[in-house]
Amino acid sequence: MTEDNMIQVENLTKMFGDFTAVNNISFEVGKGEVFGFLGANGAGKTTAMKMLIGISEPTHGNATVAGYNVLTHAEHVKRNIGYMSQRFSLYNDLTIKENIVFFGGIYGLSSADIKEKSQAMINELGLHDMADSLVGSLPLGWKQKVAFSVAMLHNPKIIFLDEPTGGVDPITRRQFWEMIYMEANRGVTIFVTTHYMDEAEYCDRVSIMVAGKIEALDTPKNLKRQFQVDSMNQVFLKLARNIE
Amino acid sequence: MSIILNNISKSYNKVKAVDDISFEVKPGELFGLIGPDGAGKTTLFRILTTLLIQDKGNATVAGYDVLKQYKDIRNHVGYMPGRFSLYQDLTVEENLNFFATIFGTTIAENYDLIKDIYVQIEPFKDRRAGKLSGGMKQKLALSCALIHKPKVLFLDEPTTGVDPVSRKEFWEMLKRLQQKDITILVSTPYMDEAELCDRIALITNGKILQINTPGAIIASFPKKIFKVRSFNTYKLIEDLRIYPDTHSAYPFGEYLHFTPKSEAFRPMDLTKYLEERQHKEIEVKETVATIEDTFMDLSKANE
């Protein structure tokens, strides 16, 4: 593994009974890279991601995330990554501030640190008027922006984003991507799944999973050239259709 | 008209979920409600399917008033809510049978209507609904919503969270249903699906921004729009934000979509500006607006 690789995956496999959900996948992701992890529903993305964040044990193969082996050092992995999904992100019945304090505590930050970070975050997101409102009352797009910042509270080297923008309005969706770019520019590695194919174009590299395997992995530009089409949407349709 | 809404409003506490909305859907039309989460789409669906009572205004579905004739409406519409709402512990066939029986019909009687969709899940008819994959659940839900041969079909975000391949297949199914004289009202947060509808309403914060055919909405985009690209997209966004002639600059796939403030804007001026800022592989070209450009432009103007 080179020093710059934040994720190194070798022959990673996960079986449930005789069903192979993830079938011998290998790839690496560099520091500060925006890596798009695409695939159809049921292709094995979530299973693969669960192994990478240390909450599911691989059946075969190896993965190193932020320098730690996901099997032998799962706790270290968890401490060095951020994770955010569309389904579970923040507590709706707590205010924005309370959520920050809660998750800051979970990540083991000192109270001084939490205070400083929450102030910085409220300033950066322009949340002064909303800091004491319940998260449940925020529009989805705002929730997702706050959730992203909360997942970054402990300065992780990598952040995993599982469909972070599903259902979010088009303007906020783009603001969200600007936050992603900003973090990547600071050297944070971004691992993101999405069903919006325009968002696939924003990634440095994209992998496409089909039936448990990675069937394509390259920059959006090269993938479009390889499949002789002019959008990632067409790349996706071509790949997933052909296999079926 | 299959669906008529006149000045419909609905608030939850102080939040106006639907704010004075009026529109009509013609018989046999595939009509799309396009807007993000929280726009008010589900509230509208619930009012039209008689599951929620509006605060103001009136509406009819298939000629029946949503308040006075709610029972008639329930017999003549199919409704597929955003959340999977079939019985997880019943099998595929049991679910379908259940819904057929409730509406006083049988699977055999209307099999023709659902055949296209149902054959794809029929091999799993003895499997419990809770054990189906997302795509199969969706097909079962659609079959159940159709089994009593409704006049109007309501589909609330049927493709949210669904991958592009399954989404495409789902829209192909809708097009075939439309041929069978069913009026379809469908909502989606995916702007690219808007172009597959006969007419669409762009909706945000409980209000309608525009109603028309997708083509007319695109043609009504009021500004010149350019696609801009350079080697470093992040820097490009930052530099376009501070460019004096920028009205809007949004990432759009591999390009940014840029609209200028001034009528006199020339692409070469922007190219020069970007060159001065050390951008490489610069491309500035006039392009055609999409539904999403229109949506963003209208919601920006509405703020």
Name the minimum distance, in Å, from the CA of A82 to any CA of chain B: 22
Q: How far apart are CA A110 and CA B96, in angstroms?
A: 56
A7, A34, A35, B248, B268 from A181: Cα distances, Å: 19, 8, 11, 18, 27
Mutate to test the interface with A, among B165, B167, B227 (most CBs of A within 10 A): B165
Tell me what pLDDT residue A243 has.
Answer: 46
By CA distance, what is B298's nearest residue in A? A171
Residues of A in contact with B228 (CB under 8 A): none
Rounded Cα distance between B165 and A62, Å, is 31
pLDDT of amino acid A169:
86
Enumerate residues 6+ apart whose C-beta is below 8 A from A129.
none
pLDDT tens digits for B205-216? 999 999 999 999
Q: Which two tokens mark A109?
A: 């930050």
The phi, psi pair for A191, rounded to 5°, reads: -120, 110
Size of interface A-B (CB pairs under 8 A): 97
Give contacts of A39 with chain B, Cβ < 8 Å: 163
Is the minimum CB–CB distance between B158 and chain A shorter than 8 Å?
no
For chain A, the distance separating the N- and C-terminal CA atoms, rounded to the nearest angstrom, is 34
Q: Which residues of chain A have pLDDT under 50?
A: 1, 243-244
Q: Does A170 touch chain B (CB under 8 A)?
A: yes
Contact B211, B43 (CB under 8 A): no
Domain boundaries, chain A: 5-243
Is A208 part of the contact surface with chain B (CB cutoff 8 Å)? no
> Looking at residues B244-250, what average pLDDT do you find?
94
Considering only CB atoms, A236 lies closest to which of B162, B164, B254, namely B164
pLDDT of residue A88: 64
Average of per-residue pLDDT across B233-238: 90
CA quadruple B116, B122, B123, B127: dihedral sign? positive
In order of start, what are the domains of chain B with their CATH numbers?
3-218 (3.40.50.300), 223-288 (3.30.70)
User: What residue in B sits closest to A181 (Cα-Cα)?
Assistant: B234
Mutate which: B234, B247, B281, vs A, most A CBs within 10 A: B234
pLDDT for residue B138:
86
**In this predicted model, what pLDDT tens digit does every residue of B93-104 receive, in sequence order?**
999 999 999 999
Using CB atoms, pick whichever of A40, A140, A181 lies closest to residue B165: A40
Look up the ipTM and state it: 0.81
The answer to whether A127 and A146 are in contact (CB under 8 A) is yes
Residue ranges of alpha helices (H) inside B153-290 are: 164-178, 214-219, 233-241, 267-276
Mean pLDDT value across residues B50-66: 97
Name the band, by pLDDT with cuts 50, 70 and 90, for residue B162.
confident
Residue B20 pLDDT > 90: yes
Positive or negative, the Cα torsion across A31, A34, A35, A37?
A: positive
pLDDT digits (tens, 9 = 90+) for A193-232: 998 888 999 999 999 999 999 999 999 999 999 999 989 9
Question: Which residues have C-beta within 8 Å of that of residue B13, sequence separation ≥ 6?
Answer: none
The model's pTM: 0.86
Q: Nearest 5 degrees, angle CA A153-CA A145-CA B289?
A: 145
What residues of A are in contact with residue B39 (Cβ under 8 Å)? 169
Q: How confident is the model at residue B197 (pLDDT cuts 50, 70, 90)?
A: very high
Contact criterion met (CB below 8 Å) for B255 and B236:
no
Share of chain B above pLDDT 90, in %: 79
**Structural contact between residues B209 and B19, judged by C-beta atoms closer than 8 angstroms:** no
Distance from CA of B64 to the nearest CA of A (A): 32
Q: Which of B187, B254, B295 to mutate to test the interface with A (most CBs of A within 10 A)?
A: B254
* pLDDT at residue A3, as a whole number: 59
Query: Does the domain made of A5-243 have the CATH classification 3.40.50.150?
Result: no
